[in-house]
Amino acid sequence: MTTAKKRYSDEELAEFKAIIDDKLALARRDYKDMMSQLDNSVSNDVADTSPTYHAVEEGTEVQSKEDLLRMAQRQQKFIKGLEAALIRIQNKTYGVDRVTGELIPKERLRAVPHATLSVESKNARRH
């Protein structure tokens, strides 16, 4: 009778940490770029164009800023999820489904490294 593995090995955790570190660096860079755009530090100003075009551009700009703000908020949430995953790696609890206590498959963790639920647990919560 084999006992189900209750946690990933230190080597496996190191592999996941490398994946998360890479994704975290990219996510932080993207977030910083979004915030720069929102702060108008990267500006493609239309001040020297015709008034009619400027009015249309202002409406588009407001929509774009709202979209950018939503994307930045999602990115910030993603960063927090990745940071929490790093803490779980330190605590050696990474990759454990928080509902069932079973290991989340490696394929899922490679695709969604901040996951705390297996696909089955996630789907079960929706019903």
* Domain residue ranges in the chain: 10-93
Residue with tokens 């009015």: 55
Residue with tokens 């330190």: 90
What is the tens place of the pLDDT at every residue in 15-64?
Answer: 999 999 999 999 999 999 999 988 875 455 555 455 555 555 566 667 78
Instruction: State the pLDDT at residue 4.
Output: 64
What is the tens place of the pLDDT at every residue in 80-105?
Answer: 999 999 999 999 999 999 999 999 99
| Helix or strand holding residue 62 (H, E) | helix 51-90
Instruction: State the pLDDT at residue 55.
Output: 53
Cα gap 73→127, rounded to integer Å: 27
pLDDT band at 12, cuts 50/70/90?
very high
Cα gap 29→21, rounded to integer Å: 12
Sign of the alpha-carbon dihedral angle for 92, 97, 98, 99: negative
Q: Which amino acid is at 92?
A: K
Strand partners, 96: 103
Instruction: State the pLDDT at residue 49.
Output: 52
pTM above 0.85, yes or no: no
Residue pair 88/94 in contact by the 8 Å Cβ criterion: yes
Task: Please check the confidence at residue 2 and state whether its pLDDT lies above 50.
Answer: no
Closest to 98 in 3D by CA, of 71, 121, 125, 73: 121
Cα gap 4→47, rounded to integer Å: 65
Q: Give the torsion through C-alpha atoms of 58, 64, 70, 75, to 10 deg.
A: -130
